[in-house]
Amino acid sequence: MITESRVKKRRIIWPYLLLALLLLALATIYFYDRVPNWRAAPVPGLDAPKVVIGGTQVETFAIVSGETTLLPFETVQKYMDPTLHWDSKTESLVVTTQDKVITMQTESLTAYVNRQPASLNVPATTKDGTVFVPMDVLEPLYKIKGRVVESTGTIFYDFLTRAVQTAAVTVETSNLRSGPSIHEPIVAKLVEGDVLEVVKTGAWYTATTRTGHFGFVREKDVALREVVTPRAEAPQPKEPWRPKGKINLTWEHVISKNPDVAAIKDMAGLNVVSPTWFSVIDNEGTVKNKADSRYVRWAHARGYKVWALVDNGFDPARTNAVLSDLRKRESVIQQLLAYAALYGIDGINIDFENINYVDRGLLVQFVREFAPLCREQGLTVSMDVTIRSKSLNWSMCYDRKALAQAVDYLMVMAYDEHTAGSGVAGSVGSLPWVEEGIKGVLEEVPAERLLLGVPFYTRVWREETKNGAFTVTSKALGMEAAEELLRQNQAVIQWDAGSGQNFGVFREGQAQCKIWLEDQESMALRVALVKKYGLAGIASWRRGFEKPAIWNVIVNGLAP
């Protein structure tokens, strides 16, 4: 029988019991937070080594084969070289630098460096679906040094171009732990005066000892010391050819027959010509050649560099067939290099347009593989891109930032604001549209590597209503032809401040005709943008469409 006094006692005891439990829990948490783990961390073996890259432990696998270590492709790409490329069709690794292209096929002891064979100690290999890269080949390219510490089961990769922060242990004893917590196991014992290489991470440092141990040490247990300067200089980008002033380039449009150079008038200030000589014409990567050694001799005699243009026929399917195959990319490159040597060409201008957006990365890879071999041959590499827009095949297909890092120059084709098939009459490139285009590209491309592409042509637009339907058609005209057409039709010509151009309008039968002129005034405003934004120069499409006076406008506008 439970008496009332017992019930009262229980009611009194329960609060004290709950308080006691709460105090016990708090004490447990308190002491757990302060009682360190004294267990030693297990030492990994070289069959499953710990990998440390640039002072950071990386969760990855590694293979140790004699004196060579191999890392997974994804690890090397993420931590060392984002441009490392895997070609699944040929099962080949492709490494590109400023002046080298290295290809390694899996399970082959022969690599190719700038097309020359080189022997490997250990081949690239595939294991359980993962591609492993032999690091002894890449270490000198990446300016890194690998070392295997057998006693700790650790592989270190040190970036020789990276400054290293050192620190010294300031307490009598400390512990290097496997994680940033006193509850993590101990990797190594530290004593006062021990020198470490450290990287800050919160209240802890990741630390490497001189005996090859890696782990975490508390910030309060060490004091920072000197910063050890890099042991090697970081690779510097190769400086492209530059004239004394700005680059003044014009494209020479060669359809089937090269021009009679004797009939070409003087072009004041010009220093580069780019004839449209080469074209990829099929899915195998065959390059059609229209080059002319007489044209090269004529250009060189006048002090012009010759940067021959290669196009893709503006065919997205053909472009995909070639870019997606390492062997076909190599074939295109070898043909172009051979032609360049044969004709004494000074550079190659890549004009690949209308490219599937999904091939964006392959386009960059092609350029990365091409540019180092061009530089080895003394060729300047340039590439044409459009301004930024939402068009997948005509604009978003260009990774302008990556392309600018690979080539010497980019030309932004700041024309065709209104194309022949746009269905709306308008300027080929109004001044505000051009300037906005430049600013957009400069967000991704250094100004000193960018040329402004300008038009020497315009369009005459015909607007008329037939059978109740309004139609707009157009035809491209050179500068003189456009002005002559306006004169013949006694057109009204006035300055259009909105486009930065002279604008002419006249009637032809039932049609109203409009022309936004390209002339000295519009060109002077475009050239001024080159100086305003510090661009490398100007590129004009195309020779033969201009008035002779235009050359003086350009050369005066580019003058310092």
pLDDT of residue 399: 98
pLDDT of residue 134: 97
pLDDT of residue 23: 66
What CA–CA distance (Å, rounded) separates 214 from 206? 7
State mean pLDDT over 86-101. 95
The CATH class of the 50-149 domain is: alpha beta
What CA–CA distance (Å, rounded) separates 412 from 453? 5
**Listed ranges 2-11, 18-27, 346-355; the one with the highest mean pLDDT:** 346-355
The CATH class of the 163-228 domain is: mainly beta
State mean pLDDT over 80-108. 96
| pLDDT confidence tier of residue 234, bands split at 50, 70 and 90 | confident
From residue 7, alpha-carbon distances to 14, 15, 17, 88 in Å are: 11, 14, 15, 80
- Taking all residues of the chain, what is their mean pLDDT, rounded to a whole number? 94
What CA–CA distance (Å, rounded) separates 350 from 333? 11
Q: In what side-by-side order are the strands of the sheet with 457-466?
A: 469-478, 457-466, 511-516, 501-508, 492-496
The region of weakest confidence among 27-36, 82-91, 241-250, 489-498 is 27-36
Share of the chain above pLDDT 90, in %: 89
What crossing angle do the helices spanning 520-532 and 549-558 adopt, rounded to 10°? 20
Q: Are 503 and 496 in contact (CB under 8 A)?
A: yes
pLDDT of residue 38: 86
State mean pLDDT over 34-47. 86
Look at residues 254, 239, 249, 367 and name the one whose alpha carbon lies nearest to residue 305. Answer: 249
Q: How many CB atoms lie within 10 A of CB 299?
A: 22
Q: Which two tokens stand for residue 304?
A: 């012009």
The region of weakest confidence among 34-48, 337-351, 363-377 is 34-48
Domain boundaries, the chain: 50-149, 163-228, 247-454+535-548
Task: Specify burial of residue 321 (Cβ count, 10 A radius: 0-12, 13-18, 19+).
Answer: middle
For residue range 294-333, what is the model confidence (pLDDT) as tens digits? 999 999 999 999 999 999 999 999 999 999 999 999 999 9
Share of the chain above pLDDT 70, in %: 94
Q: Are 505 and 525 in contact (CB under 8 A)?
A: no
Q: What sign results for the dihedral spanned by CA atoms 89, 90, 93, 96?
A: negative
Is residue 14 pLDDT above 70, yes or no? Answer: no
Contacts of 452 (CB under 8 A, 6+ apart): 411, 412, 414, 434, 438, 526, 529, 530, 535, 537, 538, 539
pLDDT of residue 236: 82
State mean pLDDT over 206-218. 96
Q: What sign results for the dihedral spanned by CA atoms 479, 482, 485, 491?
A: negative
State mean pLDDT over 143-151. 95
CATH 3.20.20.80 fits 247-454+535-548, yes or no: yes
Is residue 198 pLDDT above 90, yes or no? Answer: yes
Look at residues 463, 489, 460 and name the one whose alpha carbon lies nearest to residue 476. Answer: 460
Q: Which two tokens stand for residue 560?
A: 């310092």
Please give the model's pTM, rounded to 2 decimal places: 0.92
State mean pLDDT over 375-395. 97
pLDDT of residue 28: 56
Is residue 31 pLDDT above 70, yes or no? Answer: no
3-state secondary structure 191-235: ECCCEEEEEEECCEEEEEECCCCEEEEEHHHEEEEEEECCCCCCC
